[in-house]
Amino acid sequence: MTDLNTPDARQARRSESTRAGTGLHWWAEILLVLTFYVIYSAVRNLFGSGSVGVSEALANAERVIDLERALGLYLEPGLQAAFLGQRWFIQFWNLFYGTFHFGLTVFALVWVYRYHPHLYARQRSTFLCTTGLALVGFGLFPLMPPRLLSDCGEFGACLAAIHPFVDTVAITGGLWSFDSGTMQEVSNQYAAMPSLHFAWAAWCTVALWPVVTSRTGRLLITAYAPATLFAVVVTANHFWIDAFGGLVALGAGHCLSGLLLAGWRRVPIRT
């Protein structure tokens, strides 16, 4: 029986990974991801809160609340209220919400590209397809996030007596506040369904699980998605059902990426 853990065997696997990844160029991947994200952001915001009425976004939020109540799982108000008195705790989750979403996602893309190029094309494509499909949700179901239900600004419902949510970033501080004039102008306030924060977190787990072998590493990446779910709910940026929508987007993105890559491989290459 061949020992797969010998130095020669490990080197052979690394060589195989390198050969399988031939054709990938770091500069092209950076350009692809950045270009895609710029286009995604432009489309997301073009058809966002600037063109959607408050009443429509509020009606959809009330539909979500009614569904969660029907399921006996309208947990968001009680969960947030339980922790609002812990300022340092809330500040940590504000920071988590604002940094890990991009930081760990970029890390996962770079790590898989650098050390496991044979897996990279599928994972990158799944990530891009998931992000692109989220635009469908944003367009079809503009949703007022919990933090805006009690907000009396331009995009809020001013219903604190009925929906006593708190925008924790605005109250306790964070990297930025979505209530600032600049952020309101450049960001789609109603892009909540599906939750890309959760979709990207789940994608990170899927992408890193096959390439992380240490018990500690796997424990951390397994905990990342549930931690993200807690973060988006306790900061009142999402309903928990938005995270379920994120899982649906990820699953659809995975299937779509497989179809696209299979089609791409059938394209004849001229030499």
Question: Among 146, 230, 246, which Cα is nearest to 190's?
Answer: 146
| Other Cβ atoms closer than 10 A to 248 | 15
The candidate with the shortest Cα–Cα distance to 199, out of 148, 144, 252, 255, is 252
pLDDT of residue 16: 45
Q: Look up tokens 């109540």; give the residue.
A: 69
Chain centre distance of CA 195: 6
Q: Per-residue confidence at 152, pLDDT binned at 50, 70, 90? A: very high
Q: Where are the beta strands (DSSP E) in 57-155?
A: none
The pLDDT confidence band at residue 20, using thresholds 50, 70 and 90, is very low
Q: Dump pLDDT digits (tens) for 213-262.
A: 899 999 999 999 999 999 999 999 999 999 999 999 999 999 999 998 88
- 52 pLDDT tier (thresholds 50, 70, 90): confident
Closest CA to 193 of 244, 233, 154: 244
Looking at per-residue confidence, does 219 or 7 come out higher? 219
Element (H, E) at 68: helix 54-70
Q: What is the pTM of this model?
A: 0.85
Instruction: Compute the distance between CA of residue 268 and CA of residue 271 in angstroms, rounded to an integer.
Output: 10
Q: Are 237 and 147 in contact (CB under 8 A)?
A: yes
Which residue has better confidence, 181 or 190? 190
Pick the residue with more confidence: 40 or 128?
128
Percent of the chain with pLDDT over 90: 67
pLDDT at site 240:
98
